[in-house]
Structures are given as C-alpha cells and as structure tokens.
Amino acid sequence: MSNPTIHGIIGYTITPFSADGQRVDLDALGRSIDRLINSGVHAIAPLGSTGEGAYLSDAEWDEVSAYSIKKVAKRVPTIVSVSDLTTAKAVRRARYAEEHGADVIMVLPASYWKLSDAEILAHYAAIGDSIGVPIMLYNNPATSGTDMSVELILRIFKQVENVTMVKESTGDIQRMHQLKLQSDVPFYNGCNPLALEAFAAGAKGWCTAAPNLIPQLNLSLYQAVLADDLNKARELFYRQLPLLQFILKGGLPATIKAGLRLTGLEVGNPRLPVFPLGEAGIGQLKALLSSV
Amino acid sequence: MSNPTIHGIIGYTITPFSADGQRVDLDALGRSIDRLINSGVHAIAPLGSTGEGAYLSDAEWDEVSAYSIKKVAKRVPTIVSVSDLTTAKAVRRARYAEEHGADVIMVLPASYWKLSDAEILAHYAAIGDSIGVPIMLYNNPATSGTDMSVELILRIFKQVENVTMVKESTGDIQRMHQLKLQSDVPFYNGCNPLALEAFAAGAKGWCTAAPNLIPQLNLSLYQAVLADDLNKARELFYRQLPLLQFILKGGLPATIKAGLRLTGLEVGNPRLPVFPLGEAGIGQLKALLSSV
Amino acid sequence: MSNPTIHGIIGYTITPFSADGQRVDLDALGRSIDRLINSGVHAIAPLGSTGEGAYLSDAEWDEVSAYSIKKVAKRVPTIVSVSDLTTAKAVRRARYAEEHGADVIMVLPASYWKLSDAEILAHYAAIGDSIGVPIMLYNNPATSGTDMSVELILRIFKQVENVTMVKESTGDIQRMHQLKLQSDVPFYNGCNPLALEAFAAGAKGWCTAAPNLIPQLNLSLYQAVLADDLNKARELFYRQLPLLQFILKGGLPATIKAGLRLTGLEVGNPRLPVFPLGEAGIGQLKALLSSV
Amino acid sequence: MSNPTIHGIIGYTITPFSADGQRVDLDALGRSIDRLINSGVHAIAPLGSTGEGAYLSDAEWDEVSAYSIKKVAKRVPTIVSVSDLTTAKAVRRARYAEEHGADVIMVLPASYWKLSDAEILAHYAAIGDSIGVPIMLYNNPATSGTDMSVELILRIFKQVENVTMVKESTGDIQRMHQLKLQSDVPFYNGCNPLALEAFAAGAKGWCTAAPNLIPQLNLSLYQAVLADDLNKARELFYRQLPLLQFILKGGLPATIKAGLRLTGLEVGNPRLPVFPLGEAGIGQLKALLSSV
C-alpha cells in the first residue's frame, strides 16, 4: 500500500450549486480547487462536512468525487471523505473514490442508531478490506453523533491495516495527548479554533476550510510551527482566530460560500434546510476578511 | 384538513429484509402489520426509527411507504415518518406518503450541520405547505442531533397550520409539563421507560415498537390510565418495564427483529453497521418475554 | 432501632435570620414550624438546603437543630439534615441531632474533591456506626457535586444497616424506576416539579419546602394519589406546578422567605452571596400565590 | 495598590496533618514550603484545593494562613486562597490574610445554591472592597459548582478594581482564547494536563501542585516557553504528562501527600472522606516518579 505523507494545511472544498440549488456547478468547483492549490495547501479534501457530502444524491456524490480527483490531478494528494449510514453504501463510495484515483479515504462513522464499539470497528474493517489506499479515521461527534474514544480509535488503528491516520475534531486537546502518549499514529486537527494548540501538541496537519478564504495565514501558522517559533505562531493564530470562530459558529458551508462570493467566486448557497449567510453575517465576514 | 384523532398505543413497524439484507420483505412486513392491528393498537407508524427508515434507499422507502399504507387499509390511522437531511427530499417523501393515503405525516428534523431555530421552522413550514394532512412534530435529539426547545415547538405549532401534534422523545418529563402548561397541543410519548409518567402527565398516546412483542401489556396500561386507576397502571408499568428498558438499550431494530423471530415471524436482520442481537441478548430477551 | 414510618408530605423549614443577618431568629423559626404542623404535613425536616444549613456556623447549626426538634416535640417525626465536608464533622452533627431527639438523620455527601464510591460508602458507614436512628440517604448532585448511581445507593442500603430510606433529587424518574425494580427501599422525591410522576412511580413521600406557602395543595395531591385518583392528582399537580417551578428556579431560601413575608411571617433574608428575591420576583410570587 | 508581578510556576502547598489527622503539622508545612522555594518556584499558594482549605476549621485555616505567609517571608509572592460559602466569611479570611502579609488573594466563589452572575459579582465586589491587595479570580466549576463565563469574568475584572488576574481551571482552552482576544487580563492555567497549550495560548503562569514532586520539569517547561522553543517545550510536556494526569485523576491531596512521603517528607493523610492513596496507586506513583 502506498502511503502518501499527509501533513500541513489540508484544504476542504465546498460543493458549488447552481443558482436554483438543483445542480452541482463543476466549473466553479474546479476554480475553487485551483485557487486552493495555487495558494499552497498541502492536500485537498473534497466531500467533507464543508463539502455538504451528506446533502448530495448518490449520483451527485459520484460526480463531485470523480471530478475533484481529476481536477487535482495529483498536484497534491486528494483525501475523499466517505460517510454513509450503511456499511454497504460507505464501501461503495470508498471503492468508487479509489477507482477514480483518491490517494486517501476519510471515514466518519455516521449514525442514526447509536453504534457500539464492535459495530464501529466492523464498519472500518469492512471498508478497509474493500480498498487498497490508506484511510484517515475521522472522529467528529458533533456531526456524526458517534464519539469514538481514544481506546477505540487505537483498537481500530491496530486491527485495520490501512487505517493509518486520525483526524480528531472533538476540540478536546486531551484526546490528542492520549493519541501521542499511547501510539505513534499521525493525528490531524479538525477543530479550527484549536489550530495553535493542536500543532503545539504535535498534530501533523490541520484539516480546514479556512484556506478558501485566508490561505496565507493558515500556511504561515504551520510554517511558524515548523520553524519552532512559538511567539510567531501565537501571534499568527490570534490574528486569524476571530475568522476561525466566525466560520465555525456560522456553519462552514454558509460562511465559506458567502466568503468565496465576496472574493468573486460564485458558488451558490447551501442546500436547505441550511440557510445561506444572512445580511448581518455577510457584513461581519466582510469586516473580518478586511481586518486580517 | 381532516384531522384524525390519534390516541392510545401507536405501534411502530420494523422493516423486514431478506436473508441477504438486499431486499425488503414485503410479505413479512404485511404480516407484522396485521399482527399489530389484530392485537388492538390504535394506529400504525411505518418508517420510524424502528423501521430503519434512515437506512433505506429512496426506492425502498417509497415501496415500504406505499405498501404499509395499503396494507393498513384504514383499519386504523397510518402515520408515516418522514425524515431527510434536505428539505427538498423531506417534502418529496411527505407528498409521496400523502398521495398514497397516509393519514398523518411525522417529521423529525434530521441534521448534519446543526440547525438554527429559524432553519427548523422553515423546514416544517416547507413540508406543511406542500401537503394537506396533519403533521406530528417529532423531537428526538438522540437520533436526529437536533433538540427542539418547548418554545420552538410551540412556535412551529402556532405558525405551521398542519402541525397539530407533538411526539416528545427526550425522556424529560418536564418538556411535557411545559407543553401542557403553555398550550393545548396534544402530545405523545416516544420514550418507552417514560410510559407511565407521560400518561400521568397527560400524554394522549404512546408511540412504541413494543406492541410487536407485548401488545396486551401496552394496551392494558393505557386502559388503566383511561380508567383513572393509578395503582393498576403502576403495576402494569413495572411488569413491562424490564422489557422496555431492554429493547431501548439493545436498539429497537435489533431487539424487535430478534423478538419477532422468537415468536415465529422471520423479518431478517438490521442493516450493517447495526448488528443483529447477539446470543446473550437473545437469551435475555427470551427470558424477559416468558416472564411477562 | 426504632424506624418511624416516614411518608407523605415532608415539610422543609427555612432558617430565619434577624434583620442584620447576624443572628438566627428562633422565635420566627418556631412559628414557621407550628404553621407547617398545623397545616397537616407528615414530617418536619430542618437544616436542609432550604434551611441554609450549609451557611451556618457550627454553633448556629446546633442551636437550630436542638430548637427545631424540641419545638416539633414529636407531634410528627423530625428529620435533621446533616451534611459536612469532613466525615468527622458530619458524625458530630449526626450525634448531636440524635442526642437532641431527631427521629431520622438525612445525609447528603457534600464534596469539594470528587469522592469515589468507596469514599462515599465509608462516609455513610462512619455516620451509620455512630448513631442509632435511621438514615435517609440523600442524592442531590446539583448542590452536593456528588452523583450517587442507583448501584451505589443500593450498595450503601445493603451494607449500612441504618440507611433505610432514599431521597432522590436528580429529577430523573428513571432512578426511581431502578430503585423500585431492584429493591424494596422506600424512596422519596426531592424534585418539586417531579411530584406527580414520582408518586405515580411509587414514591412514599415528597420532601418539599412548598408547604410553607401552599400546604393544602401539596397535601391534596398526596391524598389523591392515596385514593388512586389519577385524574384528580394530575389536575392538582398542574394547578401548583407554576409555583413549584418558580420556587425551584428562584432558589428555595430566597423564594420561600419572600413568600412567608408576604403571608405575614418575617423570617429575614438568605445569607449573602445569595440574594433575597427582587421586586419583580416578589410581584410574580404574589400573583402565583393568589392564583392557586 | 501594589501589584506584584505573578508569573511562571506557582507552587501549591499541601496542608500536613498529624498522624491522627486531628492537628495541622506546621513544621512539615514549613519544610514543604522551603523545598518549593528552594526548587525555584515563582510564587507560593497556600490553602488552595490541594491545601484542603475547604476541610479546615476556621482556627486551622487562620493558623495555616499566618504560618505560611510568615514562612515564605517575601522570598517569593504568597497567594492565599480564600473560599467560603458566605460572603461574610470569605471577607473575614481575605482580611486576615492581608493583615498577615499575603501579596495576593485568590477567590473561588464556592456555592451550595447556584449563584447568579449578579450574586457572584457582588461577592467579588464585597471582598475587593474590604482589602487592598490584588485578587486573582479563580474559575473551577469542578470543585466550586459555579462556572463563570468569560463574559462574567471580564465584567468582574472591569468593575472590581483589585481583581487583576484570572486563574482558569476549566481545562477549556477556548476560554483562554476569549480572555486574550477580549481583554489584556493576565491569565493563569490551573489545569495540569493543559500546561503546554495554556502557555502556547499566552498564559502568564501555571498554578500547580506538581512542583512538590517534579519542580525541575515544571520549571524547564516554562523556561522553554520563555525561550520560544516549541519543540523543547513539547518534549518536556509529554515527559511530565503521565505524572500530571496521575495526580489529577488520583486527587491532588492524596497523590501529592503520598509523593512527598515517598521523598522522605511525612505530611500525613488527607482528611476523610477523602482516602489516602492506596497501595496500587503508590506503586504507580513510584514508577512514574522514577521514570521522569
């Protein structure tokens, strides 16, 4: 199994829709991908939470997946998020993404009925067995409804060969401490306002939609960490923190799409019931973007 | 708008699958519906949490919806659960169910991204505007990830004309107290171990999958409440409580399907990642069923 | 060990202070006790949460304890609440109360450092060993910071001979269900807005400060339950619920003291940092009292 | 008002008891203070959570307070923790400590009845008005039962002149981010496993009992942060983290007292109901101490 080195700033793409919300706008998607890569991000992650993967039909999901991978064209690694309520559908998506050239598959165990540890492990094993590329395990109880303990994560890491990375989005830095003390699994931060501390704790990368709007600040923070310069990293972090808090609180699809529109790239609105950013929010976002 | 009187024991159906899990077994579904109605339940609710509605493809959902309504054939009211991540898809399902004869539509605001009160209200309004039958609002944060406050529920009740009933499944009896003190909306209990207290607090009905296994006990509890006989209601409640706790803790699809199998009706297993009930659980369930 | 039958409405006393807050006003205390007993409550409980037991000096605590027991004079049982951070001090208070004639000692395991189950058990055992009267175990994590699981409560009940009753104040009715299913320990409700459901679930009594203000409604609810009349119990419960919610939300010492003042019995204010009820609150309380 | 610069490693003292637990062992207390100061800590904090301040009688509290301040003898600043359920008693202790030479008073708003923001503010204002030395506001809901929001903390900071520092012990790094973004109040970390990240976020000091056992590691971490060397700080942090987690989980009085005994300083046991560290725990602690 090839294992690309995933590190640094991992940029999440939005999924642009046509004005009536009915169609995916692939052209706008392509432009947003090019922007991210040109800005210097170290990897591209389509169809994550920001990418409204959960709100797409199967056909749309396939379309966005295949198009994104092709558009990235190996300039950087592509990490495709796969999340579905049934194991069968998650396996199908993982295979589809692998066949179309995904470098890494990210798996969030979505749930309706609460899952036991054994059920989650079996879910990861079934996906792992069906593909040959590495899997980044993704823990985000706020969206998935399933909180994987550090013990469970490490059990999966040991038992499912191609689970080789962990994205932790609980925002609880102690989880990263435990991963570090108890294993050598590379971990990545998925909680924007924890960016500084996650790097301090040894995170290998930061999974974030922020580079759609402020790539240079995101990248500079990572560079300061690599340069072992804590004072500079702190200063850069606090400079971007108000924006990071804003996009988290306002919802990533709504705020990132509004922000891209402000910078001249029309990507449509999120799908209902998620509202687009309101007038007041757009004003705040404008102010935040011009102040950084 | 016709508004059927929904009250008493509202029986939830499972969705039977073929042995390989690939196909819905409509014949078994029909038999399970007949059993429920023959036992005396006051309404039938297909495609709820117990019915694994969230784990079906769109085509399967339509199939189960149409078949269930036809099979019930107005012997009792049919309440079809509609829950989808996008408003557009939820509207489509609600219309489909209405067109096929559903008496009531139950709406749970499923979420991936957390929804604001305004977004939830707009979701209900969009569904309400698109159909002519009554809506039972369903609050169950444990599965939907969205907790609707009593204030929000009453706002929706006031603003969306065909939202005329509330199913409360938080298990917090104080929510029912608030509904009772602040409105005259009929409320229904969706938390099995709260059955006695919800009736004491004035719930008009109990939404439950238990009648698949112990219909007489469920119905007798309701009769005792109607007869104003608290001592008898308490005695009947504690008699069935161990089973109610067991099916809740073990997961309704897994335990109800195992229980139906024990009574001679083969309905297959839940879909992965949800496991079927294990050997130990089947033993416990057998003991519980024979002791009531 | 004598074991008085504790049941029904257990009235909690406030601790009146002089106008400057420096002194306990024993005369007012005596009058409040007489009022409660004359209204018909089945037991008197001094020095509980309502009685600001935690805010008294040792000398004041002893004074209130001895005076209350003497004033009740066995007209009904007296249940003295004993709660202290160290086991040694809790033992001293329990002995003091027993020596002065308390019928029952209520023990809340107050904590600063979180206590393990073994530490809590040892605390109860030490108090139990030092006195000869029954103990009512009191679980109220909201004030004590210690939540005792049903398993722990039943372990203490089995291992400490004179722990013979449980007061449950979490407000979680499922705790009472577990107590009922797993033991024959008499349980008492300490959460005012749960009064109806606790009785429905089989609670033997209701520990409440409300009889200082609305004794007839509290007693009538209990009588309706004894008479097996659920409809009447429900009607009586909802009649008093707004007041029960008000005194809970406003804080019992502040609201009960304000209410007693409204009825002509001056008992001073709570001790700072707890504020007396403000003007707006007094207005609401007046309205609530005149509407019941 | 003189305002000593508090920074770096602020060492918390235990309160030694005689073998029978009845008496404070001032001699042992003196030796533990000398050890801390000789090791290089930047301030001494008696009577905190570790110091079992809440478990002492008033006379003992006065004795420990006066003795500690005298023993420190201005070699470093002394920060005396004052926490009491009533405002009157907290004021008395604050004055006592000031009169005996405390440089800073630390105030934790202990509660039995939940306090409103206005009540907490008035509590701080009353203490602030009664003394002339600076106050470090202390937020630790796990022990006090009162969680002060960042908004409330900043209101108190603005309105009570001598509240000039904040000790944050929730373990939620986002609280520190908010303090930093919204004010220039110096903040200190009171959550041991958050030491690295709190310094990364800009904390001016670390309030900790760990220097009783591993002062060099604690101090080196602070030095690495001052030297802007993130890699070294991270390495030093993970080296001491297992011990920091152990003393937090085991309870500071129990583990620190056991650790001091292992290093030859007998300080007795915690007061019941808090247990001394058991045999297994002592074994783990020994192993942890010898591995760092």
* Burial classification of residue A142, based on how many CB atoms lie within 10 Å of its CB (0-12 exposed, 13-18 middle, 19 or more buried): middle
User: Touching check for B265 and chain C: CB below 8 Å?
Assistant: no
Cα B113-B115-B117 angle, rounded to 5 deg:
175
Q: What's chain D's length in residues?
A: 292
The confidence band for B256, taking pLDDT boundaries of 50, 70 and 90, is: very high
Question: Given 3-state DSSP classes, what are the helix, strand and coil percentages for chain A, each rounded to the nearest 5?
Answer: 50, 15, 35
Contact D65, D48 (CB under 8 A): no
Q: Three-class SS of residue C80?
A: strand
Contact A50, A252 (CB under 8 A): yes
- What is the Cα–Cα distance from C49 to C30, expressed in whole angstroms? 18
Q: Please list, in sequence order, all residues whose beta carbon lies within 8 angstroms of the beta carbon of residue A232, skipping any fewer than 6 positions away.
A: A224
Q: What are the tens digits of pLDDT across the range C185-225?
A: 999 999 999 999 999 999 999 999 999 999 999 999 999 99
What is the reported pLDDT for A268? Answer: 98
Residue C114 backbone dihedrals phi, psi, to 5 degrees: -55, 135
* DSSP for residue D17: B
CB contact under 8 A, B272 and A143: no
* Nearest neighbour of D197 by CB, restricted to A197, A241, A242: A197
CB contact under 8 A, A87 and B275: no
- Asked if residue B3 has pLDDT above 70, the reply is no
CB contact under 8 A, A275 and B113: no
What is the reported pLDDT for D110? Answer: 87
B143 CB neighbours in chain A (<8 A) are 112-113, 145
- Asked if residue B226 has pLDDT above 80, the reply is yes
ipTM of the complex: 0.95
A193 CB neighbours in chain D (<8 A) are 174, 177
Determine the residue of chain C that is closest to B192 in CA distance.
C174
Determine the residue of chain B that is closest to A143 in CA distance.
B112
* Nearest neighbour of C113 by CB, restricted to D87, D109, D253: D253
User: Which residue stretches of chain A have pLDDT < 50?
Assistant: none
Q: How many helical (H) and strand (E) elements, i.e. helices and strands, does chain D have? A: 12, 8
Tokens 């089973």 -> residue: B243
Which residue, among A274, A275, A279, would best test binding to B if mutated, counting the most B CBs under 10 Å from its CB? A274
SS (H, E, C) D31-75: HHHHHHHHHCCCEEECCCCCCCHHHCCHHHHHHHHHHHHHHHCCC
Q: Three-class SS of residue D251?
A: coil
- What is the Cα–Cα distance from C28 to C276, expressed in whole angstroms? 17
> pLDDT > 70: what percent of chain C?
99
Which residue, among D196, D197, D288, would best test binding to A if mutated, counting the most A CBs under 10 Å from its CB? D197
Count of CB atoms within 10 A of residue A41's CB? 24
* Nearest neighbour of C197 by CB, restricted to B201, B228, B233: B201
Q: Which of residues 18-37 of C touch D (CB under 8 A)?
A: 21
- What is the Cα–Cα distance from B13 to D104, expressed in whole angstroms? 66
User: Touching check for D180 and chain A: CB below 8 Å?
Assistant: yes
CB contact under 8 A, B87 and A273: yes
Determine the residue of chain D that is closest to A240 in CA distance.
D181
Contact A53, A81 (CB under 8 A): yes
Q: Give helix D117-130 / helix D87-99 axis angle, nearest 10°.
A: 30
Contact B166, B198 (CB under 8 A): no
Contact B202, B181 (CB under 8 A): no
CB contact under 8 A, C230 and B229: yes
Read off the tokens for C41. 């409550």
Cα C66-C70-C72 angle, rounded to 5 deg:
120
Smallest Cα distance from D6 to chain C, Å = 26
CB contact under 8 A, A193 and D174: yes
CB contact under 8 A, C230 and B228: yes
CB contact under 8 A, A253 and B115: no
Which residue, among D256, D272, D277, D279, would best test binding to C if mutated, counting the most C CBs under 10 Å from its CB? D272
What is the reported pLDDT for A130? Answer: 98
Give the torsion through C-alpha atoms of B110, B112, B117, B119, to 10 deg: -90
- Asked if residue D285 has pLDDT above 60, the reply is yes
Smallest Cα distance from B260 to chain C, Å = 26
Q: What are the tens digits of pLDDT across the range A30-68?
A: 999 999 999 999 999 999 999 999 999 999 999 999 999
A242 CB neighbours in chain D (<8 A) are 181
Average pLDDT over residues D141-162: 96
- What is the Cα–Cα distance from A263 to A211, expressed in whole angstroms? 13
**β-sheet with D163-168: strand ranges across:** D43-45, D8-12, D205-208, D187-189, D163-168, D135-139, D104-107, D79-82
Contact A122, B272 (CB under 8 A): yes
The confidence band for D3, taking pLDDT boundaries of 50, 70 and 90, is: low
Q: What are the tens digits of pLDDT across the range B177-210?
A: 999 999 999 999 999 999 999 999 999 999 999 9
CA-to-CA dists, residue D121 to C140, D125, D137, D155, D205, angstroms = 26, 6, 11, 8, 24
CB contact under 8 A, D85 and C54: yes
* Nearest neighbour of C234 by CB, restricted to B202, B233, B234: B202
Average pLDDT over residues D149-167: 98
- Kindly provide the b/e burial profile for residues C2-16, where b requires at least 16 CB atoms within 10 angstroms of the residue's own CB: eeeebbbbbbbbbbb
- What is the Cα–Cα distance from B78 to B10, expressed in whole angstroms? 9
User: Touching check for A225 and chain D: CB below 8 Å?
Assistant: yes
Name A8's bridge partners. A205
Determine the residue of chain D that is closest to C125 in CA distance.
D273
Give the torsion through C-alpha atoms of B179, B181, B185, B188, to 10 deg: 50
CB contact under 8 A, D230 and A230: yes
User: Touching check for A196 and chain D: CB below 8 Å?
Assistant: yes
- What is the Cα–Cα distance from A255 to B86, expressed in whole angstroms? 18
Name A139's bridge partners. A168
The confidence band for C292, taking pLDDT boundaries of 50, 70 and 90, is: confident
Average pLDDT over residues C59-65: 98
What is the reported pLDDT for A3? Answer: 63
B21 CB neighbours in chain A (<8 A) are 88
The confidence band for B2, taking pLDDT boundaries of 50, 70 and 90, is: low
What is the reported pLDDT for D111? Answer: 84
- What is the Cα–Cα distance from C248 to C255, expressed in whole angstroms? 8
C274 CB neighbours in chain D (<8 A) are 113, 115, 119
Q: How many CB pairs under 8 A join A and D?
A: 61
Is the backbone peptide bond immediately before D273 cis, with ω within 30 degrees of 0? Answer: yes
- What is the Cα–Cα distance from D288 to D242, expressed in whole angstroms? 7
Q: What are the tens digits of pLDDT across the range C81-97?
A: 998 999 999 999 999 99
Contact D9, D42 (CB under 8 A): yes
The confidence band for C1, taking pLDDT boundaries of 50, 70 and 90, is: low
- What is the Cα–Cα distance from D30 to A194, expressed in whole angstroms? 41
Report chain B's mean pLDDT, rounded to a whole number. Answer: 96
Count of CB atoms within 10 A of residue A263's CB? 10
CA C82 to chain centre: 11
Q: What are the tens digits of pLDDT across the range C130-180?
A: 999 999 999 999 988 899 999 999 999 999 999 999 999 999 999 999 999
The confidence band for C3, taking pLDDT boundaries of 50, 70 and 90, is: low
Cα B183-B184-B186 angle, rounded to 5 deg:
120
Note whether A touches B: 3 CB pairs or more under 8 A.
yes
* Nearest neighbour of D274 by CB, restricted to C119, C252, C272: C119
What is the reported pLDDT for A1? Answer: 53
Residue C209 backbone dihedrals phi, psi, to 5 degrees: -90, -5
Which residue, among D22, D84, D112, would best test binding to C if mutated, counting the most C CBs under 10 Å from its CB? D112
Which residue, among C17, C107, C112, would best test binding to D if mutated, counting the most D CBs under 10 Å from its CB? C112
CA-to-CA dists, residue D265 to A98, C81, D243, D260, D261, angstroms = 63, 39, 19, 5, 5
- What is the Cα–Cα distance from C13 to C31, expressed in whole angstroms? 11
Residue B108's nearest CA partner among B31, B49, B176, B35 is B49
CB contact under 8 A, A228 and D229: yes
Determine the residue of chain B that is closest to A271 in CA distance.
B86
